[in-house]
Structure 1
Amino acid sequence: MNLRKSYYLLSTLLLLGAAFLALSPSFVQPDFILPKRVDSLFVIYETETAHRVNQQADTLPLAAPLFNPGELGLAYEQLRVYTSDSIVLHGWYVPCADTNANTLLLVHDLNDSKLRLLDAVKQFHDRGLHVAVFDLRAHGESEGKIFSPGMIAVEDLKHVTDALLRRAETKHICLMGYGIGSAIVLQSAVVDGRADALVLQSPFANLENYLARYAYAKWGRLKPLWYPVFHRKTEQLLGHPVEAMDLPLLASVVKTPTLVVTGSEDELVFPTESLAVFDSSAAPKKDLLLIRKAGHQNIDELGGADYYNRIAAFLVTAVPRKQQKTRFKRLAQL
């Protein structure tokens, strides 16, 4: 009798375990795969945060909608880019008066959007750059429900690059990625190769380690329960093992001028990881910008004007501002 009960109990546990593995992706919906939307309805609840976006924040109520570049006094155009699977990506393009200027394309971090980069758009525009920014798939105003930082995101970035290269004033494309965005940018440099300069802010060394820290921050002591399912789902979306996304290895074959930016107190992507990417870079021209006491989210804030000046100066020296029609531009116009 006891043996029969044990058999039924074990069978029940096995069935429950199988059901858990089969159904858990429906219950475990981490915002790494299903990002939080930060779109045009996002509201600022802190006047101090609003002040960073608009110097007239003193006149704003405590809760005020975020702005578009036009609210910051910038002439801009809406970008609508169609992907290979007919997803629409939304973005902004802010040209500067100097038609020979380089074009900087910003790629935001996970669970972020173009809105969070409004200040960066203005700062780089004021330093003589054409600036473009778009919402990644499943982020902000862009369509899509599921996000993956692998080849799908790289292909999406390729379509945005195509759209920019079709513009008459585009002479050179520079890519700047933040966090997960830096991984997309570096993969693009390997697969696409049309960027003339790269800025990698807080690049991690390996996606395996990044996901482990992400899972612990999200689930704490329950990480051992949910992480295997999350890990498996992420690999299905990537189409390869997560440990295969090794940024130092990718950097070792990229010779595009590269600037690595990191915060000394970054709690999500350790500075040692970003340094490993910098050390491995095969770029003949590379530089490192360390912002002391900065975490993952406040590098630009603590870096201040020097942060933007260093990045803009690197791009100007790495990519000469002169008129030329590259073979990439001709291909994009076909």
Structure 2
Amino acid sequence: MKKRSLFLGGILSALGIGGLGYFITNTFMYLPKKDYKLVRSRETDAQRIIQEEYDALPKEEVNIASPYGYHLNAIFVTPHPHNKYMIFAHGVTENKLNSIKYMNLFIKKGFNAIIYDHRRHGNSGGKTTSYGYYEKYDLKAVVDELIRRAGDDVFFGLHGESMGAAVVLLYGGSVEDRADFYIADCPYSNFGEQLSYRMGVELGMPARFLLPLVNRTLKFREGYSLKDLSPSSVIQNIQKPVLFIHSLEDDYILPRMTEELFNKKQGPKMMHLDFRGTHAQSYNEDPEKYDSVIQRFLEEVEASQKG
């Protein structure tokens, strides 16, 4: 009887631990998204979207096939006749409307643009948020569509914010270093560390010891691991120029993560941490400075190509 009780106790304990793993992975894979209308209203009220100006831009809505069986809703914005493009990757819970402020900045610099919704966000399909694992291949599908339309000689850069920044770096470091340059605004370097940090802040508990459990559950459920979501493991493979942007006041994703990525990146790179504001607010707090940093980076990219 005692052995049976121990056996049952072991099963119940395992079920409890397994349930905790499912709960944690469910929490971040199905993180509640911001309402589309809410994002539009927020950006319009802040005058980061001027509806009349946006409506006047020549554009085409395109549904791009993801390699995973759903569509990615994208908008190709083409006010310029030449072959220069930017592709923008938004953060988790956001949608492509949040990318319009960055798009406007680059349109003024002579770039055409592509804004799109990540899987499970906005008007795109997809069941879960994978924090870069599937999203990096979705980004390749967007790049492939750009090349199909504009040709192999297209000059393009990638800009990502928060999770979108991690997606951009994971794409460049583990799928293909195809872009001419990358801009990573407040990325996480290691998703496991970021998850542990946020759980510690929000739950008030040391959460690092839970990472092996989360990793096993994630591998069992989705087929990938926490390391697969960590740009720090692949950043050394990106040979093209990378601009890293982060605010020292960011207490959601700590700026030391950007410093880690910067230090591991080989070849041309630039980093600016002297922005104001909380997470993903560098542009919102000081758009003129953001513009200036981007301009200096683009000038270095251009100079390196001529050299």
Measured against the shorter chain, the TM-score band is 0.7 to 0.9
Residues 203, 40 of structure 1: alpha-carbon distance in 2 compared, 3 angstrom cutoff: closer
Q: Which amino acid aligns with 1:188?
A: Y
Asked if 1:14 corresponds to 2:10, the answer is yes
1:245 deviation in Å? Answer: 4.8
Q: Which amino acid aligns with 1:92?
A: I
> d(CA) in 2 for partners of 1:197 and 1:224?
34
- Give yes or no for contact 1:106–1:177 (8 Å, CA) kept in 2: yes
The partner residue of 2:93 within 95, 103, 111 is 111
1:267 deviation in Å? Answer: 1.0
- Give yes or no for contact 1:248–1:276 (8 Å, CA) kept in 2: yes
Question: Residues 286-297 of structure 1 correspond to what in structure 2 (within 5 A)?
Answer: 286-297=269-280
Question: Residues 54-73 of structure 1 correspond to what in structure 2 (within 5 A)?
Answer: 54=49, 70-71=54-55, 73=56
> d(CA) in 2 for partners of 1:103 and 1:241?
33
Q: Which structure 2 segments of 5+ residues have no match?
A: none
Query: What's 2:130 paired with?
Result: 148
Query: What's 2:281 paired with?
Result: 298
1:217 deviation in Å? Answer: 4.2
> d(CA) in 2 for partners of 1:31 and 1:104?
32
- Give yes or no for contact 1:196–1:319 (8 Å, CA) kept in 2: no
Query: What's 1:269 paired with?
Result: 253
Q: Which structure 1 segments of 5+ residues have no match?
A: 56-66, 323-334
Residue-by-residue CA offset, 1:252-303 (whole Å, 9 max, x unaligned): 23211111111111112222221121122112x2211223333213111123
> d(CA) in 2 for partners of 1:27 and 1:273?
26
- Give yes or no for contact 2:79–2:112 (8 Å, CA) kept in 1: yes
Asked if 1:212 corresponds to 2:199, the answer is no
- Give yes or no for contact 1:174–1:315 (8 Å, CA) kept in 2: no
> d(CA) in 2 for partners of 1:230 and 1:49?
39
Provide the TM-score with structure 2 as the length reference: 0.83
Asked if 1:247 corresponds to 2:231, the answer is yes
1:210 deviation in Å? Answer: 1.0
Residues 202, 95 of structure 1: alpha-carbon distance in 2 compared, 3 angstrom cutoff: same
The partner residue of 1:83 within 54, 66, 72 is 66
1:38 deviation in Å? Answer: 3.4
Q: Percent identity?
A: 22
Residues 68, 210 of structure 1: alpha-carbon distance in 2 compared, 3 angstrom cutoff: farther
Query: What's 1:278 paired with?
Result: 262
- Give yes or no for contact 1:70–1:76 (8 Å, CA) kept in 2: no
Query: What's 2:28 paired with?
Result: 32
> d(CA) in 2 for partners of 1:258 and 1:238?
30
Give the match's secondary structure for 1:195.
coil
Residues 96, 222 of structure 1: alpha-carbon distance in 2 compared, 3 angstrom cutoff: same
Query: What's 1:181 paired with?
Result: 164
Query: What's 2:291 paired with?
Result: 308
> d(CA) in 2 for partners of 1:39 and 1:68?
22
> d(CA) in 1 for partners of 2:4 and 2:180?
64
Give the match's secondary structure for 2:46.
helix
> d(CA) in 2 for partners of 1:196 and 1:24?
43
Residues 34, 246 of structure 1: alpha-carbon distance in 2 compared, 3 angstrom cutoff: closer
> d(CA) in 2 for partners of 1:249 and 1:11?
40
- Give yes or no for contact 1:25–1:230 (8 Å, CA) kept in 2: yes
- Give yes or no for contact 1:69–1:118 (8 Å, CA) kept in 2: no
- Give yes or no for contact 1:35–1:138 (8 Å, CA) kept in 2: no
1:224 deviation in Å? Answer: 7.9
Structure having the higher Rg: 1
Query: What's 2:179 paired with?
Result: 195
Give the match's secondary structure for 2:160.
strand
The partner residue of 2:47 within 48, 52, 56 is 52
Asked if 1:172 corresponds to 2:192, the answer is no
Residues 248, 231 of structure 1: alpha-carbon distance in 2 compared, 3 angstrom cutoff: closer
Please provide the CA RMSD for this pair: 3.2
Query: What's 1:161 paired with?
Result: 143
> d(CA) in 2 for partners of 1:82 and 1:75?
23
1:233 deviation in Å? Answer: 3.4
The partner residue of 2:84 within 85, 90, 102 is 102
1:201 deviation in Å? Answer: 1.2
Give the match's secondary structure for 1:109.
coil
Residues 273, 43 of structure 1: alpha-carbon distance in 2 compared, 3 angstrom cutoff: closer
> d(CA) in 2 for partners of 1:183 and 1:145?
19
Query: What's 1:329 paired with?
Result: none
> d(CA) in 2 for partners of 1:113 and 1:37?
9
